[in-house]
Structure 1
Amino acid sequence: MSIPFFLTVAYAGAGFHGWQVQSTLRSGQGVLWEALRRLDPEAPLPQGTGRTDAGVHARAQGVLIHVTRVWEPYRLLAALNAHLPHDIRVMEARPAAPGFFPRQHAVAKRYVYRLGFGPAADPLQAAFRWHIYQAMPLNLNAMALAIKPLLGTHDFSSFRCVECVAKTPIRSLHGIGLVDVEGGIDLVFEGSSFLMHQVRIMAGTLVDVGRGRRSPDSLAGLLQAKDRRLAGPTAPPHGLCLEKVWYEAKWGLGEISPFGART
C-alpha cells in the first residue's frame, strides 16, 4: 500500500547545494529522504515542485511523498521534523489525491528577491538579503519603469543561464512588484514557471537599472536580443526565496491561482 502525502517544506538555502538530490553534496531532497526513510525504509524519493539553486531558500517547496502506513498528518509532520536538521522543516502535511504530481500540476509560483540598503549589512538579515553598497540609493522609479516590458509571455533567453536545459525559453511573467520593507526592498516575481537563474538574472539587471548602469527603457530590446551576455549580473543566491506555489484547483491544495491555468 502506498499512501500519498503533500508536504510544504521550508529551508534555509545556505547549507544546501540546491533542492535536487545529488550523490555527494547535501540537498534538500536528499536530507528529507533520509528523514523519511527513518520512518519508512521503503519510501521512494520525495518529489518537489521546483529545483531551487544552491544557496536559494524556500518557504513553500511543495513535496509529494509516499508512505506505507496510515499517518495522522500532524504526527507525520512531527515525526519528520524530529529527524530533520535545524535548517529544513516540514511546515504542513496533508493527504494528497492519487495522480497528483507537484511539478506537473503547479500553475504559478512566487519568488521574492530581497535587497538590503544602508552603509552596512544588517547581520540579522545578511543571510537572506543581497546588500547593495553605494553612495547613492538605487533609483526605484527607474526600476519600476523597467519592469513593464518583462510582463507577459516572452522568450526569456536573455535571462536564461547557459546551463539551462528547459525545452523552451518561453515563459509567462504575471507580475513584478517592488515592495518597501525595513532596511531595503523586496522584488516580488510571479509567473507560470521560471528558467534556470531567470529570477536572479532579472534581479541583477533591475539593480543595474537602479544604479544607473542601464536605462529603464533598454529591457524591451534586451528581451528581443535573446542574448544572455547583454543582461545584467546573476544576483547572488542568498537573496532569493521560493515563497508560494499555486496548484491546479482540482487538487484542493491551498488557494486557487489568481492567474488562471499555466500557459
Structure 2
Amino acid sequence: MRAALQDFEVFDNTYFLMIRNFLGGINRLVRLPAINVRVGTEKNYYLLDSSGGFTEYSANDIIHLNGGDVRQSIYGVPTYFSGIQSILLGEAATLFRRRYYVNGAHSGYVMVTFDLEDAQADVLETAMKQTKGPGNHRSMYLNMNSTIQGKPGYTKDRVQIIPVGDFGNKDEYDKIKQVTLQDILNMHRVPAGLASIMPLNAAGHGDLTNVREVYYDTETLPRQAIWSELNDQLPQRARIQFKEPRWLTDKTT
C-alpha cells in the first residue's frame, strides 16, 4: 500500500491487479509499478519488464486510479510538472556557483589589453587557458591596437576586465534559491512550516496548528476521497478506512 501511495504521488496514477477466486470475487489486490504500466487500446493494460517484454492484462482485472488531466483521459498527470523548470533553475544556479569557486580563477569574463607585443599576449592567453577548470565558464582574451588613423590612441586603462554576468554573487544566488524554494512549495501545495523549512522573516510561519488543520481540510481529505474510490470495487471486509487525526479525536473526547 505504501508503494501504491508513492506511485500516485509521483505519477498521479496507481494500478492494482485484482486476484479473483473461482466465483469471480476479489481475494486481494496486487500493486503494479506505475512506471512500467501502459494503457492499451483494446481495453487492456501492459506491464513492461526489464527484458523488453510485457505481460498483458484485461481491463476488467485492473483498477486504475487516475488523477486526471484536462487534455486527455488515459493517464493522470502530476501537478508538480509545472514546477520542474524552477527545480532545474535552482540546480543550475547551485552548479554554477559551485563551479565558480572550484574553478579558482572565477572565469567568465572578457579580458582586454592594449598594445601588448605578440609574445606577451601569447603568454597571457596561455595562462588564461590553463586557469579554466573542466566544465566551467569560458573567458575571452582580446589584445587591441589603440592606434587611430596612424596616430597613437589613448586608453585610460591598459588592461580591462569586462564581466559577462555574475550569478555567483550572493545576492543574485539567494534570489534564485528563494524563488525556486517558493515554486517547489507551491507545486507540491505544502506550507513551508509543515515542511520543516526555517522561516525567512521574524514573523515566522504563523500558528502551525491552524496551518495543519487547513492543510488537512484542503489537501488531505481530497486525497483520501480519491483512494476511497477503491471501495466501490472491494468487498466490505477489505475496504479502505482512514483514521481521524489526533486533534479531532481529542476535541471530541
Superposition TM-score tier, normalisation by shorter sequence: under 0.3
Structure showing the higher helix proportion among its residues:
2
Larger Rg: 2
* Structure richer in strand, relative to its length: 1
